[in-house]
Amino acid sequence: MIELDQVTKRYDGIAAVDSVSLRVEPGELVVLLGGSGSGKTTTLKMTNRLIEPSSGRIRVEGEDVTTVPPHALRRRIGYVFQRLGLFPHLTVAENVGITPALLGWDARRIRGRVDTLLELVELDPAEVRDRRPDALSGGQAQRVAVARALAAEPGVLLLDEPFGALDPITRERLQRSFARVRRSLGFSAIFVTHDVVEALLLGDRVGVMRGGRLLQLAPGRELVRAPADDYVADLVRGPLEQARAVESLIAGAPARTIAGGDAP
Ligand SMILES: Nc1ncnc2c1ncn2[C@@H]1O[C@H](COP(=O)(O)OP(=O)(O)OP(=O)(O)O)[C@@H](O)[C@H]1O
């Protein structure tokens, strides 16, 4: 569904993305995981031509993206931005229905699709349909952003830290809700995050990026059991140790803090 073949992006001779190759199979969700500046967003934006690669090939649904006009490509690929990108002057229904409207769907079909998607992302259409984005909570707005990206029934979805700005409880709720939406619609997706737990829980496979390179692309289980190098090992160790510390706390064992000392 998505295929990157030795894709590189250079800025002033420096590689932001360095010879990255990966394939996303039909229905698969690949997470790109890495620290700030590792090249995740640049990789995502090259996939829908918001950024043009310096070299390499990208195919989406079998087609070389350079042969598809960018606006046509972006109508076929849903995109959820790092910072929302909802249009503040449009209502929720207008935001969600914008791509179907551009594609010339009739008003009844758009309305039906908008309501179906709002329900799918667990919002009550009657309650939020006519509100503007500033009248929504952060979590509600992010649900609307996901609904909007899915409105024109794309086979491919790109998500850039979609839940990054939310508190942990809202974030976890949205992760669960997104996993459900994915099961019911079955699209392929690339999901960018710097959150290791989110990556392990949501990704069919997780690609770890550092300095523009893809260090390892594997199911989360394999990253934990057989990390390709010390960087990957260190990256996954932190949250695993945290989880173990919490478990022993719950079990009533004399818990030790992550720093190694006894918990208060
Ligand atoms: N327009 C640009 N001009 C010059 N350098 C850029 C440009 N865009 C990105 N870069 C550089 O490319 C590298 C990769 O950036 P990118 O945004 O892809 O990283 P990221 O992993 O998504 O980081 P974050 O998690 O902070 O969003 C960084 O070093 C960044 O400074």
- Ligand 1 centroid, distance to 36 Cα (angstroms): 8
Mutate which of 14, 40, 54, 158 for ligand 1 pocket (most atoms within 8 A of beta carbon): 40
Q: Alpha helices, DSSP H only, in 77-206?
A: 92-96, 98-102, 107-120, 125-128, 138-150, 168-185, 196-202
Q: Which tens digit of pLDDT belongs to each residue from 175-187? A: 888 888 888 888 9
C-alpha count within 13 angstroms, C-beta hemisphere, residue 170 = 13
Q: Evaluate if residue 132 carries a pLDDT over 90.
A: yes
**Considering Cα of 211, then 214, then 219, then 222, what sign does the dihedral take?**
negative
On average, the pLDDT of the chain sits at 89
- Ligand 1 centroid, distance to 123 Cα (angstroms): 34
State how far the Cα of 213 lies from the Cα of 29, in Å rounded to an integer.
19
Ligand 1 contacts (CB < 6 A) are 11, 16, 34, 36-42, 194
State how far the Cα of 94 lies from the Cα of 144, in Å rounded to an integer.
11
Of all atoms in ligand 1, which is nearest to the CA of residue 32?
21
What percent of the chain clears pLDDT 70, i.e. is strictly above it? Answer: 94
For 81, which DSSP code?
Answer: B
Ramachandran bin of 110, using left for φ above 0, alpha for ψ from -120 to 50, beta for the remaining angles: alpha
Beta-carbon contacts of residue 210 (< 8 Å; ≥ 6 apart)? 34, 35, 38, 231
Q: Evaluate if residue 84 carries a pLDDT over 70.
A: no
CA nearest 232: which of 44, 43, 33, 41? 33
Q: Cα separations (Å) of 160 from 31, 118, 134, 245?
A: 10, 20, 21, 30
Residue 219: strand, helix, or coil: coil
Q: Which tens digit of pLDDT belongs to each residue from 145-163? A: 989 988 988 899 999 998 8
Query: Does the interface predicted TM-score (ipTM) exceed 0.85?
Result: yes
What percent of the chain clears pLDDT 90, i.e. is strictly above it? Answer: 58
Q: Which tens digit of pLDDT belongs to each residue from 209-223? A: 999 999 999 999 999
Distance of CA 107 to the CA centre of its chain: 29
| Strands in the chain per DSSP E | 2-11, 14-24, 29-33, 55-60, 63-64, 77-80, 156-160, 188-193, 205-210, 213-218
Residue 75: strand, helix, or coil: helix
